[in-house]
């Protein structure tokens, strides 16, 4: 009888533990919400800074291609001009500001087999509308392959929309749409390439 009395509390505790065990999420495309407090934000600005350093060190030539309303032009540029054009290091990407004013979620894209980290602003007063970081998962360290951003702002009486893509160790390009208050939309695309295998694209 004494043995039974000792077993009952143990069985009760086991039942409570099983009942409150967290459920596992299923589904490969299930988005994972990352809270602002868990410190999981990717260092987007650092990824770009490090890639600029690599371009400074290893690029044999830097090709700039410009298309404005269908008219194309291209020329080789030096590192100082490359740094002027690579204005991806926006103030909003500063780590403290980024964590405070953006939220993150992530998903696995089965089509591309890549991890996508998506950042969207928590308030509408900034120019940066979205940031996406594409990672190729591996058994070792996941590799960042591309960063994509969208901006929306005004310059004088002109509304400006920009789509910016940075492909690691290869190139960046910026698609810009300018809508003056009185006048037609001006579309321009600027691509800066430091990996020669992409010169012909």
Question: In the chain, which residues have pLDDT < 50?
Answer: 1-38
Annotate 152-199 with DSSP letters as a single string: EEEETTEEEEEEEEEETTTEEEEEEEEEESSS--EEEEEEEE-SGGGT
pLDDT given at position 177? 97
Neighbour tally for 32: CB within 10 Å:
12
Comparing CA positions, the residue from 182, 181, 162, 183 lying closest to residue 173 is: 162
pLDDT in tens, 58-110: 767 999 999 999 999 999 999 999 999 998 999 999 988 899 999 999 999 98
Alpha-carbon span 134 to 113, nearest angstrom: 10
Q: Give CA–CA dist 142/129, Å, rounded.
A: 25
Q: In the numeric block, which tokens belong to residue 16? A: 């409570």
**Strand order, beta sheet including 171-180:** 32-34, 102-109, 114-121, 128-136, 143-155, 158-167, 171-180, 186-193, 62-68, 71-77
Q: Report the C-alpha gap between 141 and 9 in whole angstroms.
A: 47
Per residue in 107-117, pLDDT (tens digit) is 999 888 899 99
Q: CB-based contacts of 124: which residues, under 8 Å, 6+ apart?
A: none
Ranges of H-type helices in the chain: 2-19, 44-58, 79-85, 95-101
């Amino acid at each position: 009888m004494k043995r039974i009395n000792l077993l009952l509390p143990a069985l009760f505790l086991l039942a409570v533990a099983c009942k409150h065990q967290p459920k596992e999420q299923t589904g490969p495309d299930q988005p994972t919400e990352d809270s602002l407090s868990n410190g999981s934000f990717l260092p987007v600005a650092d990824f770009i800074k490090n890639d600029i350093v690599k371009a400074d060190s290893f690029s044999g030539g830097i090709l700039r291609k410009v298309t404005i309303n269908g008219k194309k032009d291209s020329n080789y540029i030096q590192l100082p001009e490359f740094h002027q054009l690579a204005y991806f290091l926006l103030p909003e990407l500063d780590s403290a500001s980024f964590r405070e004013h953006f939220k993150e979620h992530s998903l696995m894209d089965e089509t591309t087999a890549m991890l996508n980290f998506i950042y969207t602003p928590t308030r509408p007063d900034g120019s940066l509308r979205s940031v996406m970081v594409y990672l190729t998962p591996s058994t070792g360290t996941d590799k960042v392959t591309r960063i994509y951003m969208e901006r929306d702002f005004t310059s004088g009486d002109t509304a400006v929309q920009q789509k910016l893509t940075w492909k690691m160790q290869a190139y960046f390009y910026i698609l810009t749409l300018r809508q003056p208050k009185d006048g037609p939309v001006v579309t321009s695309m600027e691509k800066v390439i430091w990996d020669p295998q992409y010169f012909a694209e």
